[in-house]
Amino acid sequence: MIPPDPELSPRRAARAEAERLATAALAVQSASPAEGSPAEAAGPAEAAEPAAAAGPTRRELRAGASTSSGIRALAATKGLPLAARRRRAGLLAVAVAVVVAGAVAIGAAATAGGRDEGEAAEVAATTTVVQGPPAVPAEGLPVPKLAAVAATATPCDDPAFTAALASGDDTAAIAAVGGGGAFRAAVASGIAPCVSLSDPNREWVVVNKQRPLDPVDYRAGDLVMPENVRALEESALRARAAGALTEMVRAASDAGAGEIGYLSAFRSYSTQQSTYAGRVSVGGVEEADRESARAGYSEHQTGLAVDIVPCNGSCATLDDVAASAQGAWVRDHAWEFGFITRYAEGRESVSGYEPEAWHLRYIGPELARAYHEGGYTTLEEFFGLPAAPTY
Protein backbone atom coordinates (compact mmCIF):
# COMPACT_ATOMS: atom_id res chain seq x y z
CA MET A 1 0.00 0.00 0.00
CA ILE A 2 1.21 3.48 -0.85
CA PRO A 3 1.53 5.53 2.32
CA PRO A 4 -0.67 8.59 2.46
CA ASP A 5 0.94 11.67 1.14
CA PRO A 6 1.15 14.18 3.97
CA GLU A 7 0.59 16.87 1.40
CA LEU A 8 -2.83 15.36 0.61
CA SER A 9 -4.47 15.37 4.03
CA PRO A 10 -8.17 16.29 3.81
CA ARG A 11 -7.59 19.95 4.63
CA ARG A 12 -4.61 20.24 2.37
CA ALA A 13 -6.40 18.31 -0.36
CA ALA A 14 -9.29 20.77 -0.32
CA ARG A 15 -6.95 23.73 -0.41
CA ALA A 16 -4.90 22.18 -3.19
CA GLU A 17 -8.03 21.55 -5.24
CA ALA A 18 -9.04 25.21 -4.88
CA GLU A 19 -5.60 26.30 -5.93
CA ARG A 20 -5.70 24.05 -8.96
CA LEU A 21 -9.06 25.48 -10.01
CA ALA A 22 -7.77 29.02 -9.65
CA THR A 23 -4.55 28.30 -11.45
CA ALA A 24 -6.40 26.92 -14.46
CA ALA A 25 -7.61 30.41 -15.37
CA LEU A 26 -4.17 31.92 -15.60
CA ALA A 27 -1.93 31.97 -18.62
CA VAL A 28 1.41 30.28 -18.45
CA GLN A 29 4.30 32.66 -18.75
CA SER A 30 6.23 32.67 -22.00
CA ALA A 31 9.80 31.49 -22.37
CA SER A 32 10.98 34.78 -20.83
CA PRO A 33 8.79 34.93 -17.73
CA ALA A 34 8.44 38.05 -15.73
CA GLU A 35 10.33 38.46 -12.54
CA GLY A 36 8.78 36.39 -9.80
CA SER A 37 6.88 34.15 -12.14
CA PRO A 38 6.31 30.44 -11.30
CA ALA A 39 8.71 29.33 -14.05
CA GLU A 40 11.56 31.41 -12.66
CA ALA A 41 10.99 30.12 -9.15
CA ALA A 42 10.72 26.49 -10.23
CA GLY A 43 14.12 26.31 -11.87
CA PRO A 44 15.31 25.15 -15.28
CA ALA A 45 13.91 21.66 -15.13
CA GLU A 46 10.44 22.76 -14.19
CA ALA A 47 10.42 25.61 -16.68
CA ALA A 48 11.24 23.18 -19.44
CA GLU A 49 7.94 21.32 -19.01
CA PRO A 50 5.84 21.13 -22.13
CA ALA A 51 3.74 24.21 -22.82
CA ALA A 52 0.66 22.04 -22.95
CA ALA A 53 1.19 21.14 -19.31
CA ALA A 54 1.42 24.80 -18.27
CA GLY A 55 -2.36 25.42 -18.65
CA PRO A 56 -4.42 27.75 -20.87
CA THR A 57 -2.85 30.77 -22.49
CA ARG A 58 -3.98 34.41 -21.93
CA ARG A 59 -5.61 34.35 -25.37
CA GLU A 60 -7.74 31.39 -24.26
CA LEU A 61 -8.75 33.23 -21.12
CA ARG A 62 -9.72 36.38 -23.13
CA ALA A 63 -11.71 34.19 -25.49
CA GLY A 64 -13.63 32.72 -22.54
CA ALA A 65 -11.88 29.32 -22.03
CA SER A 66 -14.03 26.83 -20.17
CA THR A 67 -13.56 25.89 -16.54
CA SER A 68 -12.55 22.34 -17.54
CA SER A 69 -9.48 23.76 -19.28
CA GLY A 70 -8.60 25.52 -16.03
CA ILE A 71 -8.89 22.24 -14.13
CA ARG A 72 -6.55 20.56 -16.56
CA ALA A 73 -4.09 23.44 -16.14
CA LEU A 74 -4.19 22.97 -12.38
CA ALA A 75 -3.45 19.32 -12.79
CA ALA A 76 -0.43 20.20 -14.88
CA THR A 77 1.02 22.26 -11.99
CA LYS A 78 1.08 19.34 -9.60
CA GLY A 79 4.81 18.95 -9.79
CA LEU A 80 5.60 22.61 -9.06
CA PRO A 81 6.90 23.72 -5.71
CA LEU A 82 4.36 24.86 -3.16
CA ALA A 83 5.31 28.56 -3.33
CA ALA A 84 5.00 28.62 -7.11
CA ARG A 85 1.63 26.92 -6.93
CA ARG A 86 0.39 29.47 -4.38
CA ARG A 87 1.46 32.45 -6.49
CA ARG A 88 -0.25 30.96 -9.51
CA ALA A 89 -3.39 30.25 -7.47
CA GLY A 90 -3.57 33.89 -6.38
CA LEU A 91 -3.41 35.11 -9.92
CA LEU A 92 -6.02 32.57 -10.95
CA ALA A 93 -8.39 33.68 -8.22
CA VAL A 94 -8.35 37.21 -9.55
CA ALA A 95 -9.03 36.00 -13.08
CA VAL A 96 -11.88 33.79 -11.93
CA ALA A 97 -13.43 36.70 -10.05
CA VAL A 98 -13.32 38.80 -13.22
CA VAL A 99 -14.84 36.02 -15.29
CA VAL A 100 -17.59 35.41 -12.74
CA ALA A 101 -18.41 39.11 -12.52
CA GLY A 102 -18.65 39.31 -16.29
CA ALA A 103 -20.91 36.29 -16.38
CA VAL A 104 -23.18 37.77 -13.71
CA ALA A 105 -23.37 41.05 -15.63
CA ILE A 106 -24.16 39.25 -18.86
CA GLY A 107 -26.84 37.18 -17.15
CA ALA A 108 -28.38 40.25 -15.54
CA ALA A 109 -28.42 42.06 -18.84
CA ALA A 110 -30.01 39.08 -20.53
CA THR A 111 -32.65 38.85 -17.77
CA ALA A 112 -33.39 42.57 -17.95
CA GLY A 113 -33.53 42.41 -21.72
CA GLY A 114 -35.96 39.54 -21.53
CA ARG A 115 -38.06 41.40 -19.01
CA ASP A 116 -38.05 44.58 -21.12
CA GLU A 117 -39.04 42.62 -24.18
CA GLY A 118 -41.84 40.93 -22.24
CA GLU A 119 -43.12 44.23 -20.87
CA ALA A 120 -42.94 45.79 -24.33
CA ALA A 121 -44.90 42.87 -25.74
CA GLU A 122 -47.52 43.25 -23.00
CA VAL A 123 -47.87 47.01 -23.63
CA ALA A 124 -48.15 46.39 -27.36
CA ALA A 125 -50.88 43.81 -26.77
CA THR A 126 -52.97 46.18 -24.62
CA THR A 127 -52.41 49.43 -26.54
CA THR A 128 -54.98 50.66 -29.07
CA VAL A 129 -53.27 52.13 -32.07
CA VAL A 130 -55.10 55.24 -33.33
CA GLN A 131 -54.66 55.77 -37.01
CA GLY A 132 -53.88 59.35 -37.95
CA PRO A 133 -55.35 61.24 -40.90
CA PRO A 134 -54.25 60.16 -44.33
CA ALA A 135 -51.36 61.90 -45.89
CA VAL A 136 -52.34 65.17 -47.52
CA PRO A 137 -51.30 65.43 -51.15
CA ALA A 138 -49.27 68.45 -52.07
CA GLU A 139 -51.57 69.36 -54.94
CA GLY A 140 -54.99 68.62 -56.30
CA LEU A 141 -57.08 69.21 -53.17
CA PRO A 142 -60.56 70.64 -53.78
CA VAL A 143 -60.86 74.28 -52.77
CA PRO A 144 -64.24 75.39 -51.34
CA LYS A 145 -65.81 78.27 -53.20
CA LEU A 146 -67.42 80.90 -51.03
CA ALA A 147 -69.99 83.10 -52.63
CA ALA A 148 -69.52 86.77 -51.89
CA VAL A 149 -72.24 88.11 -49.61
CA ALA A 150 -73.31 91.57 -50.57
CA ALA A 151 -73.76 94.10 -47.79
CA THR A 152 -77.36 94.70 -46.82
CA ALA A 153 -78.73 97.57 -48.88
CA THR A 154 -80.37 100.34 -46.89
CA PRO A 155 -82.44 103.30 -48.01
CA CYS A 156 -79.61 105.56 -46.94
CA ASP A 157 -77.45 103.97 -49.66
CA ASP A 158 -79.96 104.91 -52.37
CA PRO A 159 -79.07 108.20 -54.08
CA ALA A 160 -82.70 108.77 -55.08
CA PHE A 161 -83.81 108.46 -51.47
CA THR A 162 -81.09 110.67 -50.06
CA ALA A 163 -81.72 113.24 -52.78
CA ALA A 164 -85.43 113.31 -51.90
CA LEU A 165 -84.57 113.72 -48.22
CA ALA A 166 -82.22 116.55 -49.00
CA SER A 167 -84.86 118.34 -51.06
CA GLY A 168 -87.44 118.09 -48.26
CA ASP A 169 -89.86 116.11 -50.43
CA ASP A 170 -91.35 113.59 -48.01
CA THR A 171 -93.61 112.01 -50.61
CA ALA A 172 -90.73 111.39 -53.01
CA ALA A 173 -88.56 109.97 -50.21
CA ILE A 174 -91.21 107.44 -49.19
CA ALA A 175 -91.79 106.47 -52.83
CA ALA A 176 -88.04 105.94 -53.33
CA VAL A 177 -88.02 103.33 -50.54
CA GLY A 178 -90.99 101.48 -51.98
CA GLY A 179 -93.98 102.97 -50.20
CA GLY A 180 -95.22 103.61 -46.70
CA GLY A 181 -94.88 100.02 -45.48
CA ALA A 182 -91.28 99.73 -46.63
CA PHE A 183 -90.43 103.10 -45.17
CA ARG A 184 -91.93 102.21 -41.80
CA ALA A 185 -90.13 98.86 -41.74
CA ALA A 186 -86.80 100.47 -42.57
CA VAL A 187 -87.15 103.10 -39.86
CA ALA A 188 -88.52 100.77 -37.20
CA SER A 189 -85.77 98.19 -37.82
CA GLY A 190 -83.04 100.80 -37.56
CA ILE A 191 -81.59 100.32 -41.06
CA ALA A 192 -82.41 103.89 -42.10
CA PRO A 193 -80.41 106.04 -39.69
CA CYS A 194 -80.51 108.93 -42.13
CA VAL A 195 -84.21 109.31 -41.33
CA SER A 196 -84.85 111.47 -38.30
CA LEU A 197 -88.10 111.08 -36.41
CA SER A 198 -87.21 114.25 -34.49
CA ASP A 199 -87.08 116.61 -37.45
CA PRO A 200 -90.15 118.87 -36.99
CA ASN A 201 -90.18 119.71 -40.71
CA ARG A 202 -90.97 116.07 -41.63
CA GLU A 203 -94.46 114.65 -41.83
CA TRP A 204 -93.24 111.59 -39.93
CA VAL A 205 -91.98 113.54 -36.91
CA VAL A 206 -92.94 111.97 -33.57
CA VAL A 207 -93.63 114.30 -30.66
CA ASN A 208 -94.63 112.99 -27.24
CA LYS A 209 -93.84 113.39 -23.54
CA GLN A 210 -90.40 111.85 -24.11
CA ARG A 211 -89.70 113.55 -27.44
CA PRO A 212 -89.93 117.35 -27.33
CA LEU A 213 -89.65 119.51 -30.41
CA ASP A 214 -86.22 120.69 -31.40
CA PRO A 215 -86.17 123.60 -31.05
CA VAL A 216 -88.90 123.68 -28.41
CA ASP A 217 -90.30 126.89 -29.86
CA TYR A 218 -90.41 125.50 -33.40
CA ARG A 219 -92.76 127.23 -35.82
CA ALA A 220 -93.51 125.88 -39.28
CA GLY A 221 -92.91 128.21 -42.21
CA ASP A 222 -95.70 127.07 -44.59
CA LEU A 223 -98.82 127.58 -42.46
CA VAL A 224 -102.02 128.26 -44.37
CA MET A 225 -105.70 128.25 -43.62
CA PRO A 226 -107.59 125.26 -45.08
CA GLU A 227 -109.99 126.23 -47.86
CA ASN A 228 -113.71 125.61 -47.61
CA VAL A 229 -113.49 124.30 -44.06
CA ARG A 230 -115.34 125.93 -41.18
CA ALA A 231 -112.82 127.19 -38.60
CA LEU A 232 -114.06 128.14 -35.16
CA GLU A 233 -110.90 130.17 -34.57
CA GLU A 234 -108.17 131.54 -36.76
CA SER A 235 -105.78 128.60 -36.81
CA ALA A 236 -103.68 127.42 -39.74
CA LEU A 237 -102.05 124.14 -40.82
CA ARG A 238 -99.00 123.17 -42.82
CA ALA A 239 -99.82 123.46 -46.52
CA ARG A 240 -100.09 119.72 -47.31
CA ALA A 241 -102.10 119.05 -44.17
CA ALA A 242 -104.41 121.97 -44.93
CA GLY A 243 -105.05 120.69 -48.47
CA ALA A 244 -105.72 117.16 -47.17
CA LEU A 245 -108.23 118.48 -44.62
CA THR A 246 -110.11 120.31 -47.32
CA GLU A 247 -110.39 117.11 -49.37
CA MET A 248 -111.52 115.04 -46.40
CA VAL A 249 -114.20 117.49 -45.35
CA ARG A 250 -115.56 117.54 -48.90
CA ALA A 251 -115.53 113.74 -49.14
CA ALA A 252 -117.38 113.38 -45.84
CA SER A 253 -120.03 115.80 -46.99
CA ASP A 254 -120.38 113.98 -50.32
CA ALA A 255 -120.75 110.69 -48.46
CA GLY A 256 -123.66 112.14 -46.44
CA ALA A 257 -121.73 112.08 -43.14
CA GLY A 258 -122.38 115.78 -42.52
CA GLU A 259 -120.16 118.79 -42.21
CA ILE A 260 -116.83 118.69 -40.45
CA GLY A 261 -115.34 121.86 -38.96
CA TYR A 262 -112.35 122.33 -36.70
CA LEU A 263 -111.66 124.16 -33.49
CA SER A 264 -107.90 124.41 -33.33
CA ALA A 265 -104.91 123.54 -35.50
CA PHE A 266 -101.50 125.17 -35.17
CA ARG A 267 -100.57 126.62 -31.78
CA SER A 268 -97.38 128.48 -31.16
CA TYR A 269 -95.14 127.77 -28.17
CA SER A 270 -96.62 130.72 -26.26
CA THR A 271 -100.18 129.75 -27.16
CA GLN A 272 -99.56 126.20 -25.91
CA GLN A 273 -98.20 127.58 -22.66
CA SER A 274 -101.46 129.42 -22.10
CA THR A 275 -103.57 126.42 -23.08
CA TYR A 276 -101.71 124.09 -20.71
CA ALA A 277 -101.80 126.63 -17.88
CA GLY A 278 -105.57 126.87 -18.25
CA ARG A 279 -105.89 123.08 -17.81
CA VAL A 280 -103.66 123.13 -14.75
CA SER A 281 -105.72 125.86 -13.15
CA VAL A 282 -108.84 123.74 -13.54
CA GLY A 283 -107.69 120.22 -12.66
CA GLY A 284 -104.09 120.42 -11.49
CA VAL A 285 -100.87 119.25 -13.15
CA GLU A 286 -101.61 115.53 -13.13
CA GLU A 287 -104.99 115.97 -14.75
CA ALA A 288 -103.67 118.56 -17.21
CA ASP A 289 -100.91 116.18 -18.32
CA ARG A 290 -103.47 113.57 -19.31
CA GLU A 291 -105.36 115.89 -21.66
CA SER A 292 -102.98 118.69 -22.68
CA ALA A 293 -99.34 118.85 -23.73
CA ARG A 294 -96.80 121.13 -22.20
CA ALA A 295 -95.30 123.81 -24.45
CA GLY A 296 -92.62 122.34 -26.68
CA TYR A 297 -94.21 118.83 -26.47
CA SER A 298 -97.40 119.49 -28.40
CA GLU A 299 -98.27 118.08 -31.83
CA HIS A 300 -100.28 121.26 -32.45
CA GLN A 301 -97.00 123.16 -32.51
CA THR A 302 -95.91 121.14 -35.58
CA GLY A 303 -98.80 122.48 -37.69
CA LEU A 304 -99.75 118.84 -38.52
CA ALA A 305 -102.52 118.32 -35.94
CA VAL A 306 -106.12 119.48 -35.96
CA ASP A 307 -109.06 119.15 -33.56
CA ILE A 308 -112.24 118.57 -35.56
CA VAL A 309 -115.85 119.08 -34.51
CA PRO A 310 -119.15 117.90 -36.05
CA CYS A 311 -121.27 120.64 -37.54
CA ASN A 312 -124.95 120.46 -38.42
CA GLY A 313 -125.87 124.07 -39.04
CA SER A 314 -123.94 124.90 -35.90
CA CYS A 315 -120.91 123.10 -34.64
CA ALA A 316 -120.85 120.90 -31.56
CA THR A 317 -118.00 120.36 -29.10
CA LEU A 318 -114.95 118.16 -29.15
CA ASP A 319 -116.61 115.68 -26.84
CA ASP A 320 -119.41 115.18 -29.38
CA VAL A 321 -117.13 113.85 -32.13
CA ALA A 322 -116.90 110.21 -30.98
CA ALA A 323 -120.65 109.61 -31.09
CA SER A 324 -121.36 111.65 -34.24
CA ALA A 325 -121.77 110.46 -37.83
CA GLN A 326 -118.82 112.62 -38.77
CA GLY A 327 -116.71 110.91 -36.11
CA ALA A 328 -117.66 107.43 -37.36
CA TRP A 329 -116.85 108.34 -40.93
CA VAL A 330 -113.48 109.82 -39.93
CA ARG A 331 -112.52 106.65 -38.07
CA ASP A 332 -113.06 104.66 -41.25
CA HIS A 333 -111.75 107.02 -43.91
CA ALA A 334 -109.38 109.61 -42.46
CA TRP A 335 -106.36 107.43 -43.36
CA GLU A 336 -107.27 107.76 -47.03
CA PHE A 337 -106.38 111.45 -46.78
CA GLY A 338 -103.27 111.03 -44.71
CA PHE A 339 -104.77 111.45 -41.23
CA ILE A 340 -104.80 109.11 -38.22
CA THR A 341 -106.56 109.34 -34.87
CA ARG A 342 -103.51 110.04 -32.76
CA TYR A 343 -104.86 109.22 -29.28
CA ALA A 344 -106.95 106.06 -29.51
CA GLU A 345 -109.13 104.40 -26.92
CA GLY A 346 -107.19 102.30 -24.40
CA ARG A 347 -103.74 103.47 -25.51
CA GLU A 348 -102.97 106.02 -22.79
CA SER A 349 -100.15 103.82 -21.41
CA VAL A 350 -98.32 104.24 -24.72
CA SER A 351 -99.32 107.66 -26.05
CA GLY A 352 -99.57 109.33 -22.65
CA TYR A 353 -102.98 110.90 -23.29
CA GLU A 354 -106.62 110.07 -22.75
CA PRO A 355 -108.49 109.07 -25.92
CA GLU A 356 -109.29 112.02 -28.16
CA ALA A 357 -111.53 111.11 -31.10
CA TRP A 358 -111.20 114.68 -32.35
CA HIS A 359 -107.40 114.91 -32.46
CA LEU A 360 -106.25 114.04 -35.98
CA ARG A 361 -102.63 113.95 -36.97
CA TYR A 362 -101.43 114.26 -40.56
CA ILE A 363 -98.63 111.83 -41.57
CA GLY A 364 -99.30 111.70 -45.34
CA PRO A 365 -101.40 109.23 -47.36
CA GLU A 366 -98.66 106.58 -47.84
CA LEU A 367 -97.77 106.30 -44.17
CA ALA A 368 -101.41 106.55 -43.13
CA ARG A 369 -102.23 103.60 -45.38
CA ALA A 370 -99.46 101.51 -43.83
CA TYR A 371 -100.68 102.56 -40.38
CA HIS A 372 -104.25 101.53 -41.15
CA GLU A 373 -103.39 98.28 -42.90
CA GLY A 374 -100.96 97.32 -40.15
CA GLY A 375 -103.61 97.80 -37.46
CA TYR A 376 -101.51 100.26 -35.52
CA THR A 377 -103.04 102.51 -32.89
CA THR A 378 -100.06 104.68 -31.88
CA LEU A 379 -97.17 106.29 -33.73
CA GLU A 380 -94.83 104.94 -31.07
CA GLU A 381 -95.63 101.36 -32.04
CA PHE A 382 -95.71 102.20 -35.72
CA PHE A 383 -92.11 103.40 -35.71
CA GLY A 384 -90.85 101.00 -33.04
CA LEU A 385 -90.40 103.67 -30.37
CA PRO A 386 -90.77 103.20 -26.61
CA ALA A 387 -93.98 104.17 -24.87
CA ALA A 388 -94.19 107.71 -23.49
CA PRO A 389 -96.85 107.78 -20.76
CA THR A 390 -95.09 110.45 -18.68
CA TYR A 391 -92.57 113.23 -18.96
pLDDT for position 106: 47
> Could you give phi then psi for residue 89, rounded to 5 degrees?
-65, -40
254-283 residue pLDDT tens: 999 999 999 999 999 999 999 999 999 999
Provide the pLDDT confidence category of residue 153 given band limits of 50, 70 and 90. Answer: confident
Q: Above 80 in pLDDT, residue 233? A: yes
- Helix ranges restricted to H, the chain: 10-23, 38-42, 44-47, 58-62, 67-76, 82-126, 159-167, 170-177, 180-189, 239-254, 269-291, 325-333, 348-351, 365-373, 379-382
Rounded CA separation 325/310 (Å): 8
pLDDT greater than 80 at residue 221 = yes
27-41, 94-108, 132-146: segment of lowest average pLDDT: 27-41
Q: How many CB atoms lie within 10 A of CB 207?
A: 27
Burial of 259 (0-12, 13-18, 19+ CB in 10 A): middle
Q: What is the mean pLDDT of residues 168-179?
A: 97
Q: 357 to each of 20, 148, 345, 364, how far by Cα in Å? A: 139, 53, 8, 19
The more confidently predicted of residues 28 and 243 is 243
- What CA–CA distance (Å, rounded) separates 365 from 279? 33
State the pLDDT confidence band at 366, using cuts at 50, 70 and 90. Answer: very high
The SS3 call for residue 133 is coil
118: left (phi over 0), alpha (psi -120 to 50) or beta: alpha
Record the pTM. 0.64
